[in-house]
Amino acid sequence: MSTDREHDEFERIRLVEQIHRHNALIAQYAEHQAIYRRRVEDDRYQLGRLDERLGG
* Overall average pLDDT of the 8-18 stretch: 98
The pLDDT assigned to 1 comes to 60
In this predicted model, what pLDDT tens digit does every residue of 40-56 receive, in sequence order? 999 999 999 999 999 96
SS3 per-residue string spanning the chain: CCCHHHHHHHHHHHHHHHHHHHHHHHHHHHHHHHHHHHHHHHHHHHHHHHHHHCCC
Assign 2 a pLDDT band (cuts: 50, 70, 90).
confident
* Overall average pLDDT of the 9-37 stretch: 98
The per-residue pLDDT of the chain, averaged, comes to 95
